[in-house]
């Protein structure tokens, strides 16, 4: 039973290079990213904007797969987000991402085991499926995402 589910997930994964790191549908995720772009861009190291326009309220989401939480240089994160990265050593993968975007502050409280933890992202993406799809989309914009995951 478990094996059958796993196979189905792999077959459904959209872009070949992201299939190791994403189970969602990148195409569906692209329109969900509209909800993020008021605050976020996906901008590569050459300064090319791959998604969004110029949202600066939140950090650049390029290359997020495998990245330590709260580690975009020059971005002022909440104390809780910085602690989740620096003290707990948490990294972004599908699981952490999907948990976080559904309830940023609630998720940080849980991870830090601290009821007073607070994140600065004032947005909740209420659907787990949408969260997995937008993850697949963001990861699909990073040609190195699949390689990192299989290292």
User: Which residues would be at the binding site for ligand HEC (CB under 6 A)?
Assistant: 35-36, 38-40, 57-59, 61, 69-70, 72, 77-78, 81, 97, 100-101, 119-123, 125, 134
User: In the complex, what is the shortest distance from the CB of residue 97 to ligand HEC, in angstroms, rounded to a whole number?
Assistant: 6
Residue 3 or 51: the one with the smaller Cβ distance to ligand HEC is 51
Q: How far apart are CA 29 and CA 146, in angstroms?
A: 18
C-beta neighbour count of 46 within 10 angstroms: 5
Residue closer to ligand HEC, measured from CB, 22 or 101? 101
Least Cβ distance, residue 4 to ligand HEC (angstroms): 30
Please, which residue, 55 or 146, has the CB nearer to ligand HEC? 55
Nearest distance, CB of residue 139 and ligand HEC, angstroms: 11
Cα–Cα distance for residue pair 48/9, rounded to 1 Å: 31
How far is it, in rounded angstroms, from Cα 98 to Cα 3? 22
For the record, the structure tokens of 103 come out as 């309830």
Least distance to ligand HEC, CB of residue 11, Å: 25
Cβ distance to ligand HEC smaller for residue 44 or 78: 78
3-state class (DSSP) for residue 58: coil
Query: Using CB atoms within 10 A of its CB, is residue 120 exposed (0-12), middle (13-18) or buried (19+)?
Result: middle
């Amino acid at each position: 039973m478990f094996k059958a589910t796993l196979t189905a997930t792999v077959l459904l994964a959209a872009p070949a290079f992201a299939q190791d790191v994403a189970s969602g549908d990148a195409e569906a995720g692209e329109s969900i990213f509209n909800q993020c772009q008021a605050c976020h861009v996906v901008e590569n190291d050459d300064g090319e904007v791959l998604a969004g326009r110029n949202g600066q309220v939140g950090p650049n989401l390029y290359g997020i797969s495998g990245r330590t939480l709260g580690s975009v240089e020059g971005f002022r994160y909440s104390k809780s987000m910085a602690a989740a990265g620096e003290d707990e050593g948490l990294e972004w993968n599908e699981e952490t991402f999907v948990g976080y975007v559904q309830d940023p502050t609630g998720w940080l409280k849980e991870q830090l085991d601290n009821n007073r933890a607070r994140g600065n992202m004032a947005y909740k993406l209420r659907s787990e499926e949408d969260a997995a799809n937008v993850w697949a989309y963001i990861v699909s914009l990073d040609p190195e995402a699949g390689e990192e995951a299989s290292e």
